[in-house]
Amino acid sequence: MQFNTYTVAGAHIAVWLVNHPAPEPPELTAALLDHDVHEPAATAADALALRPWAARLRAVFEADGVTAKAELADALLIAADCRPRLVSHGTGQPFHFHYAPVATGLPPRVRALTAAGLAHVIDDGGGSRLGACVRPGCDVVFLDTSRNGRRHFCTLRCANQVNVSAHRLRARTR
Ligand SMILES: [Zn+2]
Ligand SMILES: [Zn+2]
């Protein structure tokens, strides 16, 4: 699957929100701008309004198996009142999806965009790529963009820590 489309950007933003559950408004704005979200300027109230949503997004990444992830993501589409529309910003400008009207404000748009992003990844067969780091004590989530899609850790650092402790355990039990 392609990971650089605007639709999948919603999944990247979902990852960011889960990993930054209490962002400062400028951080949130920068993250949205990174993914070409329209009118990304976030207020403190916007950032606060998205906190419970980040918790709901997290459940998708942590759910066991694609079926559970799909059921949760489907529920998010409804909760976010996600209604795709084809929009162009002027004559000759490309048409693209908006998942909630810009007039609804930033939090509803981010909810709809992130729900659509996760749903799109699952629709494209990438549900197992919505993952959470398996190192105990690490709560980082990710969209696995690797070729084989077998990522288990957020970073090499977490993978190494687990490998080191497994090695120590083996050494002790010998
Ligand atoms: Zn647009
Ligand atoms: Zn980790």
Give distance in angstroms: CA of 88 to centre of ligand 2.
40
The conformational region for residue 65 under phi > 0 = left, psi -120 to 50 = alpha, else beta, is left
From the CA of 98, which ligand is nearest?
Answer: 1
Give distance in angstroms: CA of 88 to centre of ligand 1.
6
From the CA of 156, which ligand is nearest?
Answer: 2
In the numeric block, the tokens 């990971």 are attached to: 3
Give distance in angstroms: CA of 138 to centre of ligand 2.
5
Task: Note whether 118 and 60 are within 8 A (CB).
Answer: yes
Q: What is the structure's pLDDT at 28?
A: 97
Beta strand 130-132 with 96-98: parallel, antiparallel or unpaired?
A: unpaired
Is residue 144 scored above 70 in pLDDT?
Answer: yes
The whole-model pTM stands at: 0.92
Residue type at 74 in one-letter notation: D
pLDDT category of residue 68 using cuts at 50, 70 and 90: very high
User: Tens digits of per-residue pLDDT, 50-66?
Assistant: 999 999 999 999 999 99
Give distance in angstroms: CA of 140 to centre of ligand 1.
30
Give distance in angstroms: CA of 98 to centre of ligand 1.
6
Report which DSSP code applies to 94. Answer: P
From the CA of 140, which ligand is nearest?
Answer: 2
Give distance in angstroms: CA of 142 to centre of ligand 2.
10
Q: Which residues contact 130 (CB under 8 A, 6 or more apart)?
A: 11, 60, 61, 69, 118, 121, 122, 141, 143, 144
Please tell me the distance from the alpha carbon of residue 42 to that of residue 44, in angstroms, as a whole number.
7
User: Tens digits of per-residue pLDDT, 22-52?
Assistant: 999 999 999 999 998 989 999 999 999 999 9
